[in-house]
Chains A and B, each alone.
Chain A
């Protein structure tokens, strides 16, 4: 029971930055914008968070710094993609390479330096509660941030008027425009908000999950996994969060597998999530392939499970909207 709880605690910690990043991207994509810069954004904000917290000796100032950097990168994407009408995919990809190199360049003097981290929080009295004790007795604050963000995003998207506007500009920008919503501005806001969450994910890496800064930091590649998890989770905050914890579970089990198979070199396990990412995307998309649907049609009982496969991307995802062209 004790080890089980500790494993859950480890998965929650490893999953927290992924949860924050996937929720950020979900917010952005719900508004119809694809931010492909996640991988570089996470790295640059991780560097910024560490640099700020080391300079001012305050990790929470570092979190704010990371969020600001994440929002700034997303803002660049938003301005070029939304207002200047350039390809979001291309700009996002350039930004991910640019931010990565910028992180290594600017972070040069902070490599392998000591700096503060966010430490551990413990909820008083929970240590004696079975199961919850080992999970939450001493847990990183980023885990609580991640869990709060799941609820916050779900509540905002599906229980507020702001959330309705958000979904409207992503599903049907023309109709939203007709209702008097300033589509491009709303999209820019969610680009910034999503970027801030991605920046928080970066801070979570360098201040809690893999404390410190260096080349490599250890969070390289996380952004690409996060982008895939958003598709896996069907653009729903709770499902994407579950997907993030699922991948974190794979990473944690990779550490155990390393002990089971000591002859396999350690770096090999670091790439293990990537074939998993491809396979899950394959599984998610298979349901929409023509030949798979033919099989489902011939065997009606399979149709009952096809609901789990169906994913609905925001209808206007990645599409330009120019109000001057009218309705």
Chain B
């Protein structure tokens, strides 16, 4: 199979984007929203000012951490749908680690991040163990554990960790300012978070493409039976891949607690786990594309906050557009395949 030229590839990508635009307009027609104005509000709300760009980057950090982590189990052909719950568990462990302290510095923050990675990894391992030793498909265990993690958060916020006097959806008592991640100038994104996300991209790139471990994991994904025969230890490797992904998701939870909300609240994960799965599918799980798609999706998410304020629309439009974009890509890929087969048949 010879690869298409760059121009052809770009042409297909353009077709996918055009299809996405048409489908979005079609599907959102019943809402009566003016299409051009909606798109303007959406993008102006995302990139219109420096402070908005700061918020975009603040969303890019956890989304990238999750999406990059997802590449690891996917290399072994595993669907870690539980990444959302792993973000939540990371946030819970992060908050738990900080509860003994009134204030602190870099050491306490590093400890909280370590705890968050542990929490995310343990939650991911639970889904991995259920898959490897209990034959429960990781889609169901992961999803179930997402809901359980949400239940644990709600129980903590309304129970043992409730604010004195009031227990509400607004979350736990805020952290002391000394425990907040330092900001990048006046922007709402922390340079620590940005550095962590970039480090994660580099680390996963090395792990998957430049290490023997990554090569063997790929072999396990391509052919588990052969992997068993060649003593590649597929079970151990599958569990490790889940743990690595969970640790990064947990770290994403920590950046939400330490850098964005400064407390634990029910919506702490902001759906980044599910969005990261869409990013992975859109990138066809190619690492080089992931950071850019994450950036684009983060712009949509931040921009959509303006929709209810300016146009009286629900902010879930960003999710609709993201979903339609990935779906359009799948349709165009399928059409390419279909055309190719027809040419071969002729």
Chain A: residues with CB nearer than 8 A to chain B?
Answer: 36, 76, 80, 83-86, 89-91, 93-95, 97-98, 100-102, 104-109, 215, 221, 224, 227-228, 231, 263-265, 267-268, 270-272, 274-275, 277-278, 281-282, 285-286, 288-289, 324
A100 contact set on B, CB distance < 8 A: 316, 319
CA distance in complex: A190, B28 (Å) = 28
A91 contact set on B, CB distance < 8 A: 327, 330
Query: Are B136's CB and A80's CB within 8 A?
Result: no
- Interface bin, chain B: 35 or more
Residue of A nearest to B319 (CB): A101
CA distance in complex: A274, B140 (Å) = 9
CA distance in complex: A36, B143 (Å) = 12
CA distance in complex: A228, B144 (Å) = 10
Query: Are A94's CB and B327's CB within 8 A?
Result: yes
Query: Are B158's CB and A265's CB within 8 A?
Result: yes
Among candidates B154, B278, B335, residue contacting A84 with C-beta atoms closer than 8 Å: B335
Query: Are B134's CB and A94's CB within 8 A?
Result: no
Against A, the Cβ 8 Å flags (1 = close, 0 = not) of B127-169 are 0001001111101110111011011001100110000000100
B49 at the A interface (CB under 8 A): no
Within the complex, what minimum Cβ distance (angstroms) separates A49 from chain B? Answer: 14
Among candidates B28, B139, B274, residue contacting A97 with C-beta atoms closer than 8 Å: B274
Query: Are A224's CB and B281's CB within 8 A?
Result: no
B323 at the A interface (CB under 8 A): yes
Among candidates A80, A97, A106, A278, residue contacting B141 with C-beta atoms closer than 8 Å: A278
Given contacts A36-B139, A108-B314, contact A90 B151 (CB under 8 A): no
CA distance in complex: A277, B146 (Å) = 12
B223 at the A interface (CB under 8 A): no
CA distance in complex: A264, B154 (Å) = 10
CA distance in complex: A91, B337 (Å) = 16
Query: Are A102's CB and B134's CB within 8 A?
Result: no
Among candidates B79, B140, B151, B323, residue contacting A277 with C-beta atoms closer than 8 Å: B140
Within the complex, what minimum Cβ distance (angstroms) separates A72 from chain B? Answer: 11
A215 contact set on B, CB distance < 8 A: 314
Query: Are B316's CB and A105's CB within 8 A?
Result: yes
Within the complex, what minimum Cβ distance (angstroms) separates B42 from chain A? Answer: 12
Extra pairs beyond A89-B139, A97-B323, A274-B143 (20, CB < 8 Å)? A36-B139, A76-B327, A84-B337, A85-B334, A93-B139, A94-B327, A98-B324, A100-B316, A104-B314, A105-B28, A106-B31, A108-B314, A227-B140, A228-B144, A265-B154, A267-B155, A267-B158, A272-B151, A286-B134, A286-B135
